[in-house]
Amino acid sequence: MDSNTPSRPLRFHPDGSFKLLQVTDVQETTRMRPETLTLLNAVLDRARPDLVVLTGDQVKGYDPGYRHRPDAVRCTLTAICEPFVERQIPFAVTFGNHDPEVGVSNAQQEAWLAELPGCVNAWTRDATGMRGYGPGTLALPIFDASGHTPCLAVYLADSGAGNLLGGYEAFDQRTTSWLVQTARELAAAADRPVPGIVFQHLPVPEMYSCLRSARPGEGGVPGHRSHYRAGELLVPRADALQGGRLREPISCPDENTGEVDALVEEGSFFALYCGHNHKNTLICRYHGMDLGYAPTTGFGAYGPGLDRAARAFSFSADDPAAYTTQLLTYRELVGARTSRPITDWATERMPVTGEELRERARALIPHPVAGARNAADESLSPHARLESR
C-alpha cells in the first residue's frame, strides 16, 4: 500500500483469517521513550496484523513541550505511526481525552495522520466501503476474500474528552445513533447483519455492573467518582469475567447515555474494547457483548511496568464473533530492563485516582466497620444492580 487511495477494500485472507492489533495510550511526549518504539516494532513483527487500530491518547496533551508547538505534535504522531507506514500496514485512529489538550484539534490531528500512507481515516467510501461520521469516528467493513461480501465491521468512536467540571464527557448520543444506523445500513447492503466490534478510548459505565464488592482480604480497586463508595473495593464477578485483570479504578463518564444498551439492542455488535486505564486488561461479558481493555502500549506515562502491551485479535470469516485475543507484552517480546527502571517501577505502583489514594490511606488506619459491607457471600456491588432488567 503506497497511498491513501486503495483500489480495493480490506479483506479476509483466502484461509478465512484476519488479524487486528489494538494500540492504545501511547501518550508520548516530545522526548519519546525508545522503549515505546521498541515495543511497537516488536508487536508488529510478532502479530503481523492486517489492520492496526489506535484507540486514543496518542500524545500526552499536557506535556509543556507541546505548548504553542503544533510542529512538535505532528512530529510525535508521525514517529508513532512510522512502524505501520514502514510495514505498509493500514491503520485507523480515534482520539482520547488527552489528545485535544495539546492545543491542536482532533480534526487537525486527523488531517495530519491522513497524509500518512495507509491511514484508513483518509480512505473513501467508494473504494473501500468505509463510512465516516467525524474525526476519529468511522466504520470499516472487512470483506471476504473475494471482496464482495462484508464479514466483519470494525467501528471506531471518539468517546469524548475531559469534562471542565471534572471527570469525562458523556458519550455523545448522536455518535450512538450513527453507530446503530450504520450497522443497519451495512446489514441492508449485505442482506444480513454484519458482526461488529467497537474501539474507543473511554471505558463504559456498564463495566461496573460486571463487578461486585470484594470480601475482606480479597483485594480489589475502588470505584471512580459517582461509582465510588467509601470503604468498598470491587472485583470482577465470576459469571461476567472473561479474562484479564482489574488493576485500577474504571474511569468512565459519570453519565450513562445508553451507548452499550443501544448496541446490545441493535444485535450485531459482539464486543467493545477501550483503553484509558493504563493498567487494566479486564474483559467481561455484559448481555452477550464483550467489554474489554487494552493496557498502555507506551512508556510516556504510568503503566503496568514491563507488561505494557498491544492487544492482538484474530477473526474468522465464518464466525467473526468467535474471535480470539491476546496481549503481546514488552516483558514477553523484549524482556530487557528499561532505561528508567525506577520511574517505571514507581509509576506502576502509585495511586492513579483520588479514590485509590483515599482507600490506601484508609487501609492503614484501624476502622471497625470497614469490612461490614463486604461480609455477604456473593453480595453484588450496588453497581451490579444495573445488570438486572
Q: What residue type is 4 in one-letter code? A: N
Please give the span between the terminal C-alpha atoms of the chain, in angstroms, as a whole number: 48
Q: Distance (Å, rounded) from C-alpha 279 to C-alpha 303?
A: 5
pLDDT tens digits along 242-284: 999 999 999 999 999 999 999 999 999 999 999 999 999 999 9
pLDDT tens digits along 79-112: 999 999 999 999 999 999 999 999 999 999 999 9
**Strand ranges in 255-296 using DSSP code E only, listed in sequence order:** 269-274, 283-286, 289-293
As a whole number, mean pLDDT of residues 164-178 equals 93
Q: Distance (Å, rounded) from C-alpha 221 to C-alpha 360?
A: 10
Q: Distance (Å, rounded) from C-alpha 337 to C-alpha 35?
A: 10
Mean pLDDT check: name the lowest of 54-68, 125-139, 219-233: 125-139
Q: What nine digits make up the cell of 21?
A: 492489533
Instruction: Give the CA-trace dihedral at 388, 255, 162, 250, to 10 degrees.
Output: -20
The CATH number of whichever domain residue 152 belongs to comes to 3.60.21.10
Q: Which of 143, 132, 120 is nearest to 178 (CA)?
A: 132
Q: Is the pLDDT of residue 1 over 60?
A: no
pLDDT at 294: 99
Determine, yes or no, domain membership for 387: no
Count of structural domains within the chain: 1
Determine, yes or no, domain membership for 311: yes
pLDDT tens digits along 107-155: 999 999 999 999 999 887 766 778 889 999 999 999 999 999 999 999 9
Q: Tell me the pLDDT of the chain averaged across its residues.
A: 92
H or E stretch covering 93 = strand 91-94
Residue 349: exposed, middle, or buried by beta-carbon count in 10 A (0-12, 13-18, 19+)? exposed
- DSSP annotation of 337: P
SS3 243: strand
pLDDT at 295: 98
Q: Distance (Å, rounded) from C-alpha 369 to C-alpha 48?
A: 53
Determine, yes or no, domain membership for 139: yes
Determine, yes or no, domain membership for 273: yes
SS3 51: strand
As a whole number, mean pLDDT of residues 205-216 equals 97
pLDDT tens digits along 299-312: 999 999 999 999 99
pLDDT tens digits along 7-23: 578 999 999 999 999 99
Determine, yes or no, domain membership for 388: no
Q: Distance (Å, rounded) from C-alpha 34 to C-alpha 290?
A: 33
Q: Distance (Å, rounded) from C-alpha 286 to C-alpha 84?
A: 33
Q: Is the pLDDT of residue 379 over 70?
A: no
Q: Which of 244, 237, 218, 239 is nearest to 329 (CA)?
A: 244
Determine, yes or no, domain membership for 257: yes
Determine, yes or no, domain membership for 382: no
Answer for the pair 235, 222: CB distance below 8 angstroms, yes or no: no
Answer for the pair 20, 312: CB distance below 8 angstroms, yes or no: yes
pLDDT tens digits along 289-300: 999 999 999 999
pLDDT at 377: 38
Beta-carbon contacts of residue 297 (< 8 Å; ≥ 6 apart): 23, 24, 25, 26, 36, 39, 40, 43, 308, 309, 310
Q: What residues make up the domain containing 171?
A: 17-204+252-352
pLDDT at 325: 99
Q: Distance (Å, rounded) from C-alpha 97 to C-alpha 80?
A: 18
Determine, yes or no, domain membership for 229: no
As a whole number, mean pLDDT of residues 347-363 equals 94
pLDDT tens digits along 176-192: 999 999 999 999 999 99
* pLDDT grade for 3, boundaries at 50, 70 and 90: low
